[in-house]
Amino acid sequence: MKTFRVLLLAIVVALGSGLVAPGPASADPYCGLVWGSLIKADPAMSQAKVNNVRTGQHYCFDRLVIDLNGRVGGYTVHYVPQVVRDGSGLPVPLRGQAFLQVTVNAPAYDDSGNSTYTPADPAELSNVSGYQTFKQIAWAGSFEGYSSLGLGVRARLPFRVFALAGPDAGSRLVIDVAHFW
């Protein structure tokens, strides 16, 4: 019994002095996501036109989809202190604690100047109430071949941007924003 007490005392002293310490803490990325929150951009231009904006919810992220009637060209997506309107530079009011300026290198009007996308409510492109990350999506305009949206989110969270082909001859620009880091 005395040997057991001596051994127990030695272990307690070793733990207290730092001789026996747990390894460094490391957490797996949330849902395996390793996206980051820095600017994502592709400078290419598109002959396609923006024709719809929609959203979706997933287990690990909220998704914004911009539909085009042709192949996605370039884009710029980045966190900004305030989203501004194309052409005028006026601020776009958004709910949320962080703001993504989403610019698609494609107009929302045809070659004759006719609109290919006219939101019913420019301040609320999609109803995102109940979404975990998205707080508001607003239209920031289409000017000189570029179309912009403001995405209000609950915090500066990691995101990714990619293009998907289809449906038919169209394509989609997809922006996923994670629920957590």
User: 60-91, pLDDT tens digit by residue?
Assistant: 999 999 999 999 999 999 999 999 998 889 99
Instruction: State how far the Cα of 149 lies from the Cα of 144, in Å rounded to an integer.
Output: 15
**DSSP letter assigned to residue 91:** B
Report yes or no: 151 and 98 within 8 Å, Cβ to Cβ: no
Looking at residue 2, its pLDDT comes to 66
From the number of C-beta atoms within 10 Å of its C-beta (0-12, 13-18, 19+), residue 125 rates as: buried
User: What's the CATH number for 35-178?
Assistant: 2.60.40.3500
What is the rounded CA–CA span in Å between residue 103 and residue 145?
Answer: 10
Q: What is the pTM of this model?
A: 0.82
Give residue 181's pLDDT: 85
